[in-house]
Amino acid sequence: MDNVRFVAEEQTLFEMKLRLTHEQQAKTLLVEKLAPLADLYVCDAFAAAHRDQPSLCGFEQVLPSYMGRLFEKEFCTVSQVMEEPVRPCVFVLGGAKISDAFLMMKTVLERGVADQILTGGLVGNIFLTALGKEIGQGSVDFIMKSNYGEYIEKAKELYAQYGEKITLPVDLAWVAGGERQEAALGSVPADIAAVDVGGETAKLYQEAILNAKTVFVNGPMGVFEQAPSEAGTKAVWQALADTEAHTVLGGGDSITATEKYGLTDKMGYICTGGGALIRFLTGEELPVVKALRHGAGLCKN
């Protein structure tokens, strides 16, 4: 048999258009034909736990169901970060997936989970723009062309309420003539596009990570795929490898950066989930977790 989420209709018709309830998913042909062949259902796909599709949420309605070992480990790891982090707890949020970062940031700040948030990448640039800092017209143009303007207002609101916990870059880097250039805020040329945090910011972030007890990471500091703009990410990732804190890392770009710098074995825990991890950290119960709770009630001791 093939894996879960193999039927194309699950990702289009069932989830996106019909928006079937879990009870309705249990009545799809997929579940009705396969469920009688099984004694129980085990889901080990934490990375897809934010999806609401029949092969993920329908079988639990009719079969005794369990979390797989990997699912259980990932779920418990991220639950500990949200519920009982060893402090100080530092979140490192960067990259370009703005909606995810802002949803997560709001939740961990409101709940008092994060003691400090280190911002980089597009996340940092949006906060700097919200505070009226010069980040280069190229950076601003990218934010506006990508329809991220609404997040400038959200950044203002978050910083007004939780500014003491949000750490912003103090310098930025850009590329000119193929060479890396850096300048402190206030001295950044008006026409550049920032592609990385600067060296002083990297040192500041390294210190915070080395002094932390729990560090959660989602997103790089800049365009780490290219040599002139990777220094910030590389420095922060080295601190993640060197710190004695429990590190939890998730997201495709974060994992790619870890592999690029050969630091996989130095990280405390690397989560396979991207979207699932973000959704979990926004405080939302994942559809597959909800379904598994129902399936667990069908299990016999």
Asked whether residue 118 falls in the same domain as residue 201, the answer is yes
Q: Tell whether 56 and 122 lie within a shared domain.
A: no
CATH number of the domain at 68, please.
Answer: 3.40.50.1260
Is 178 within the bounds of a domain? Answer: yes
Residue 19 gets which letter from DSSP? -
Domain of residue 131, residue span: 87-244
The answer to whether residue 259 sits within a structural domain is no
Record the tokens describing residue 284, joined without a space.
Answer: 């939302």
Neighbouring C-beta atoms of residue 285, cutoff 10 Å: 11
pTM above 0.75, yes or no: yes
Q: Across the strands, what pairs with 149?
A: none
Same domain as 143, residue 94: yes
Q: Looking at the structure, do residues 80 and 94 belong to the same domain, yes or no?
A: no
| Per-residue pLDDT, 166 | 98
Contacts of 261 (CB under 8 A, 6+ apart): 234, 237, 238
Does residue 80 contact residue 55 with C-beta atoms inside 8 Å?
Answer: no
Tens of pLDDT along the chain (301 residues) come to: 667 777 767 777 766 777 889 999 999 988 999 999 999 999 999 988 999 999 999 999 999 999 999 999 989 988 888 888 999 999 999 988 888 889 889 999 999 999 999 999 999 999 999 999 999 999 999 999 988 989 999 999 999 999 999 999 999 999 998 999 999 998 999 999 999 999 999 999 999 999 999 999 999 999 999 999 999 999 999 999 999 999 999 888 999 999 999 999 999 999 877 778 888 888 888 999 999 999 999 987 6
Residues 98, 189, single domain; the answer is: yes
